[in-house]
Amino acid sequence: MSQTTKLIVGVIIAVVVVVAGYSVIKGPSAPEETGPIQIGFIGPLTGDAVTYGEPVSNAIKLAVDEVNKSGGVNGRMIEVIYEDGKCSGKDAVNAAQKLVNVDKVKIIISLCSGETLSILPITEPADVLVLSPLASSPDLTGAGDFFFRNNPSDADGGKVLAELISKKYKRVAIISEQTDYAQALSRVFVKSFESLGGEVVANENFAPETSDFRSMLTKIKEENPEIILINPQTEIAGGTIVKQIKELGITVPLYGTIAMAGSKALEIAGTNAEGMLLVDAPGLSPNNPKAVKFLENYKAKYGEPTLEFYLGAAYDDIFILAQSISKVGTDTEKLRDYLNEMINYNGVIGTYEFDKNGDLAGIEYVVKKIQDGKAVEVK
């Protein structure tokens, strides 16, 4: 080791000792009641699912700006730490470890079902409150005391789809992505559809980030289903499947899940998606002044909104948190009790509350049809 290297190493050691010593003397910086209120965000900021992560994080930024401009919560600003969960359990766990153990956040907003399912084992023991505006997996029902979501469960979504399809058809094919969300939905659908007397003639699954579905669709075509149900995690997979279905000359009616209503899915599918029926969360009501104002502000700042229910739910989450914290402070046990007892919250996505499992109560899935490149609600 040369003289210079020794010197450099010496300086580094000295700095580490001083910094470590300082923080020990200062003690854990835990309950600062004056600094900003930190909220963690775990969602897909890269990868195919970024079509959810990007707009939803924009909606959160919009809400945080509004809260902070009006003076914050009890005089404290809200600060969001964004982490990339890539819609995958593994990445979400890394993000949660960092948020909970390093940043010491007490509140996390988590997006995908897969992300949320994997972080709960970390957040629950640490009494960290988790809110999700997107996660719809039925496996999340009652998954944790500190978990709440303002997105309907697919235990309902899968049933609604099965009932809708079984009214007219008996032989269906389903193609699903290999993710917690899509697999749970597929499970609920297949079970409900079969109990209604239908038959699933082809049940194909594909890995995330797949872009060539032709051979899977060729197999489906061979089984002659009356309809195909497309159940992707991401809009990109969904749009591509619709496109490749038509390219293979398959002409049966198509059904889809919520991802198919996204603008990216419809851009990729183009006119091929026309007439497709899907089960989706309701659109934001034009009679709700809060929703109208939110959409206007979003459009002005980030352009045309996509999947507006998700955006509205995420926006609501920030305001629900702001309201709860202003009432009971930042102690998560008190926040949990407050959210459990909260009734008739009047938000952008409607009037709702959380049931005893932390699930959304008061808003239900609706049926939509793709017309002129847009998902329009049908009665």
Nearer of residues 259 and 291 to another protein, judged by Cβ: 259
Q: What does the alpha-carbon distance between residue 321 and residue 325 come to, in Å, rounded to a whole number?
A: 6
Q: CB–CB of 154/191 below 8 Å? A: no
214 part of the interface to another protein, by CB under 8 A: yes
> By CB under 8 A, what part of segment 40-59 binds another protein?
45-48, 50-51, 54
CB of 221 to another protein, least distance (A): 8
Of the candidate spans 1-9, 101-109, 264-272, 305-313, the one that interacts with another protein by CB under 8 A turns out to be 264-272
Q: Which of 170, 191, 243, 334 binds another protein (CB under 8 A)?
A: 243
Q: CB–CB of 182/216 below 8 Å? A: no
Cα–Cα nearest to 82, from 49, 105, 65, 66: 105
CB of 248 to another protein, least distance (A): 6
212 part of the interface to another protein, by CB under 8 A: yes
Nearer of residues 44 and 350 to another protein, judged by Cβ: 44
Q: What does the alpha-carbon distance between residue 331 and residue 4 come to, in Å, rounded to a whole number?
A: 50
Sign of CA dihedral 178, 179, 180, 185: negative
Q: Which of 268, 276, 277, 363 binds another protein (CB under 8 A)?
A: 268
249 part of the interface to another protein, by CB under 8 A: yes
Structure tokens that stand for 229 in this block: 């149900």
Q: What does the alpha-carbon distance between residue 257 and residue 322 come to, in Å, rounded to a whole number?
A: 32
Q: CB–CB of 107/80 below 8 Å? A: no
Of the candidate spans 30-38, 152-160, 193-201, 213-221, the one that interacts with another protein by CB under 8 A turns out to be 213-221
H helix or E strand, kind and range, residue 254: strand 254-256
272 part of the interface to another protein, by CB under 8 A: yes
Q: Which of 119, 216, 229, 259 binds another protein (CB under 8 A)?
A: 216
What does the DSSP 8-state code read for residue 49? T
104 part of the interface to another protein, by CB under 8 A: no
Nearer of residues 103 and 212 to another protein, judged by Cβ: 212
210 part of the interface to another protein, by CB under 8 A: yes
> By CB under 8 A, what part of segment 164-193 binds another protein?
178
131 part of the interface to another protein, by CB under 8 A: no
304 part of the interface to another protein, by CB under 8 A: no
Total residues contacting another protein by CB under 8 A comes to 39
Q: What does the alpha-carbon distance between residue 165 and residue 222 come to, in Å, rounded to a whole number?
A: 20
Q: CB–CB of 175/241 below 8 Å? A: yes
Q: Which of 77, 248, 252, 367 binds another protein (CB under 8 A)?
A: 248
What does the DSSP 8-state code read for residue 224? -
Structure tokens that stand for 1 in this block: 């080791």
Q: At what angle do helices 180-195 and 113-123 cross, to 10 degrees?
A: 110
200 part of the interface to another protein, by CB under 8 A: no
Cα–Cα nearest to 363, from 295, 310, 292: 310
Q: What is the rounded radius of gyration, in angstroms, for the C-alpha atoms of the chain?
A: 23
Q: Which of 110, 132, 151, 240 binds another protein (CB under 8 A)?
A: 240
98 part of the interface to another protein, by CB under 8 A: no
- Binding residues (CB under 8 A) for another protein: these are 45-48, 50-51, 54, 178, 203-207, 209-216, 218-219, 221-222, 236, 240, 243, 246-249, 264, 267-272
